[in-house]
Amino acid sequence: MKKNKDQLYRPRKISFSGIDIQLDVNKKKINQSIQKTLERGKFIMGPEVKKLETELSNFCKSKFSITCANGTDAITLALMALDFKSGDYIITPAFGFISTVESPTQLGINPIFVDINKDNFSININELKKIIIKAKNEKIKIKGIITADLFGEPANYSELLEVCKESNLLWINDGAQAFGSKYNKKSITLYSDVTTTSFFPSKPLGCYGDGGCVFTESEKLASKISSLKIHGKGENKYDNIFVGLNSRLDSIQASVLLEKLRLFKKEIKRRNEISDFYLKNLCKNIKLPDKQDNSYSVWSQFTIRTKNRDNLKEFLLQKKIPTMIYYPKPLNKQKAYKKFSNFNNSLINCEEACNEVLSIPIHGYMCNSQAEYVAETINNFYKK
């Protein structure tokens, strides 16, 4: 593996996400940025927020970037801007974080759960088509879909665009784990009607609290989202033209993100170096994540699959290697959402993934010896 010349800090302890190391390496500049914000005293909608939105648009070549309070709100704002109403239907994967079903149901939108691909955790196009056909036969009008690019790998956007066009579906892409990824050499923010992301601390581009952003190429949608996130304001904050939210990114978090964005490309490159090493050196006893030829992943997590998941996790813990399980229960089996799981479509891949997935350490500050130790330890487990 190529030497990491930019690695300034090599702790003995292996970090799962590298958040702690990133802070140690860049603490001085981040603290200076926060201090400047404190001295300005404009803590809500300060100049840092507008600057960040400009920099985010420049980074991913999107026309409009509208920051908000968190990634869940970003999905909610997208749904509101696209005029989803109570009683509408939307398709969303059953494997992933709760936000993709929480946001629509809060607005009275009915989710229909769809299965994922067995190989890459993306929405299963064949199952999606089956649901669309079944809905038509049952006189159910589906208004749109929410996809989620889990672990940083983009879905098959070409097929999704074709399905959405054929069935006249709106498409919201939850890119919370994939901001910085590309499909056919273009940012993931440039394909769907609206793309959202989260700046939760553990995300590839994370702040030191909550934060989110909505991306769109539509000036009309951007204008509406900008209004909706500030109580649906019109000409001023006492002129309200929509029923909106209070969902603003604060200036301190924006100042943190501005500093982190400067490092982001370098961190993504390092994540890809680590992932390439894992893909080449981990044993065949585990199912490795698929890497599409036409995509460039940000590798927010490196997630393997194994039927010995729990035993492997315990073994790695004993060897002081942290791991995480994303996700242990499918959304359709969550107590709060069971009532929405009666479309009778197969979700077998989602259920199998919940029993087999295990994410291992990967981040932009991981040194070679640590990645080698992780791979060697996993391989040794299967030699026992």
Contact 179, 298 (CB under 8 A): yes
**What is the sign, positive or negative, of the torsion defined by CA atoms of 39, 40, 44, 46?**
negative
Tell me if residue 317 falls in helix, strand or coil: helix
What's the pLDDT score for residue 343?
81
Contact 41, 255 (CB under 8 A): no
Residue 300 banded pLDDT, cuts 50, 70, 90: very high
What's the pLDDT score for residue 7?
46
pTM for the full predicted model: 0.95
| Nearby residues of 121 by Cβ (< 8 Å), 6 or more positions away | 95, 150, 151, 153, 289, 303, 353
- C-alpha separations of 177 from 134, 168, 301 in Å: 31, 26, 8
Which one, of 363, 210, 268, lies nearest residue 59 by Cα?
268
Tell me if residue 250 falls in helix, strand or coil: strand
What's the pLDDT score for residue 12?
65
What's the pLDDT score for residue 311?
98
Does residue 11 register a pLDDT over 70?
no
Q: Where are the beta strands (DSSP E) in the chain?
A: 64-68, 89-93, 110-114, 142-148, 170-174, 182-183, 186-187, 194-198, 212-216, 295-296, 302-305, 357-360
DSSP notation for 340-360: G--S----HHHHHHHHHEEEE
Residue 67 banded pLDDT, cuts 50, 70, 90: very high
pLDDT in tens, 146-178: 999 999 999 999 999 999 999 999 999 999 999
Q: How far is CA 17 from the centre of its chain?
A: 14
For domain 263-381, give the CATH number: 3.90.1150.10
| 213: its two tokens | 């952003």
CATH 3.40.640.10 range(s) for the chain read: 24-259
Instruction: Please write down the long-range contacts of 98-102, taking CB distance under 8 Å and 24 or more positions apart.
Output: 98/331, 98/334, 99/71, 99/72, 99/75, 99/174, 99/176, 99/198, 100/75, 100/146, 100/148, 100/174, 100/331, 101/331, 101/337, 101/340, 102/72
Phi first, then psi: what are they for 87, rounded to 5°? Answer: 100, -15
Kindly state the average pLDDT of the residues 298-310: 97
CATH 3.90.1150.10 range(s) for the chain read: 263-381
Q: What is the 3-state secondary structure (H, E, C) of 371-382?
A: HHHHHHHHHHHC
Query: 69 versus 11: which is more confidently predicted?
Result: 69
Average pLDDT, the chain: 95
Kindly state the average pLDDT of the residues 358-376: 97
Asked, as a colleague might, if the bond just before 382 is cis with ω within 30 of 0, I would say no
Work out the angle at residue 265's Cα, subtended by the Cα atoms of residues 259 and 268, and round it to the nearest 5 degrees.
Answer: 115
Kindly state the average pLDDT of the residues 193-213: 97
* Cα distance between residue 63 and residue 152, in whole Å: 22
* Cα distance between residue 173 and residue 178, in whole Å: 10
Residue 5 banded pLDDT, cuts 50, 70, 90: very low
Angle between helices 19-40 and 251-281 (to 10 degrees): 160
What's the pLDDT score for residue 159?
97
Q: If 0-12 CB within 10 Å is exposed, 13-18 middle and 19+ buried, where does residue 290 land?
A: middle
Kindly state the average pLDDT of the residues 167-190: 98
What's the pLDDT score for residue 4?
53
Kindly state the average pLDDT of the residues 235-246: 95
Q: Which alpha helices (H) appear in 242-291, and where do they start and end?
A: 251-281
Kindly state the average pLDDT of the residues 333-352: 90
Which one, of 159, 154, 160, lies nearest residue 60 by Cα?
154
| 259: its two tokens | 């500093």
Does residue 139 register a pLDDT over 80?
yes
What's the pLDDT score for residue 2?
59
Residue 3 banded pLDDT, cuts 50, 70, 90: low
* Cα distance between residue 358 and residue 381, in whole Å: 14
What's the pLDDT score for residue 291?
84
pLDDT in tens, 81-138: 999 999 999 999 999 999 999 999 999 999 999 999 998 899 999 999 999 999 999 9
Tell me if residue 225 falls in helix, strand or coil: helix
Q: If 0-12 CB within 10 Å is exposed, 13-18 middle and 19+ buried, where does residue 317 land?
A: exposed
Q: Does domain 24-259 have CATH number 3.40.640.10?
A: yes
